[in-house]
Amino acid sequence: MLFDDRTRAESFGAVAELYDRARPSYPPELIDTLLEDAPRHVLDVGCGTGIASALLAARGADVLGIEVDARMAEVARTKGLTVEVSSFERWDAQGRKFDLLTAAQSWHWIEPQAGAAKAATVLRPAGQIAVFWNFGDPPPEARRQLAAVYARLEPALESYAVVLGNHGARGDATASALDRSGLFDPAKTRSFSWTTTYDTAAWLDFLATHSDHQTLPPERHDRLLAAVGEAIDALGGSIEIPYQTVLVSARRHATEHQSALAHGSPS
């Protein structure tokens, strides 16, 4: 499972500043949805360089970030964010409770059942977990040209790289894990559509922040990015990517009694 691959999970710090520049942000409609109930205290799990945390903080939320990599956390702190360095599974909440727990591009690095259980312990009754991802799909001709490059140079990547539209079932798996935990009301899934355009240099920077690319041996990494750059140049020097930001959310049961019953404890 992806969350077991700690080499990839903890590779992002090596490119922390590039990650902050090259990764896309999130649509305003998503932030509106997250803040519908005006949550005051927000825990952002796997906050990275604070891309999502900063959007929430700018709207008045008191955000605490949890980030496993100190280099990513340091970039987030330059934005005025408070970040504690730890894996979520081992993080000590010290009795703190939150109205909203978010995870932007990070929940797939956490074991789903353990993550759901830990989230329930740090959320107030009726508090919400909200995890989301940006899923982009290159248009058909670009997908065909890029897939040919990957098939020739890195065939394993061609079959699962998210930058080629291989998104798996992260949202469905997350919703199922939350529902199976018995700690939350039924999970809901929403998506938000938007589009952005990358020139060749921006697309190569974006690729270099993905763990499946970043962890390639240097010679293979450089060869792949050079060939991808040639393909984008041949497509006119830019690529328009339609995105779906997929949000999976669920509310913790409104009473401690419900949570105790979910764990099989006596009332």
What is the pLDDT, as a whole number, of residue 261? 47
Q: Are 109 and 103 in contact (CB under 8 A)?
A: no
Q: Are 68 and 49 in contact (CB under 8 A)?
A: no
What is the pLDDT, as a whole number, of residue 256? 57
What is the pLDDT, as a whole number, of residue 169? 73
Determine the Cα–Cα distance for residues 216 and 97; give it in Å rounded to an integer.
Answer: 40
User: Which domains, and CATH codes, for the chain?
Assistant: 2-136+166-194+244-262 (3.40.50.150)
Beta strands in the chain (DSSP E): 41-45, 62-67, 82-85, 98-104, 123-136, 188-199, 238-251
Beta strands in 117-233 (DSSP E): 123-136, 188-199
Which DSSP symbol is given to 254? S
Beta strands in 122-260 (DSSP E): 123-136, 188-199, 238-251
Tens of pLDDT, residue by residue, the chain (267 residues): 545 455 655 667 788 999 999 999 999 999 999 999 999 999 999 999 999 999 999 999 999 999 999 999 999 999 999 999 999 999 999 999 999 999 999 998 898 889 999 999 999 999 999 999 999 999 999 999 999 999 999 998 888 888 888 876 778 889 999 999 999 999 999 999 999 999 999 999 999 999 889 889 999 999 999 999 999 999 999 999 999 999 999 999 987 545 544 454 433
239-255 pLDDT per residue, tens: 999 999 999 999 999 87
What is the pLDDT, as a whole number, of residue 9? 53
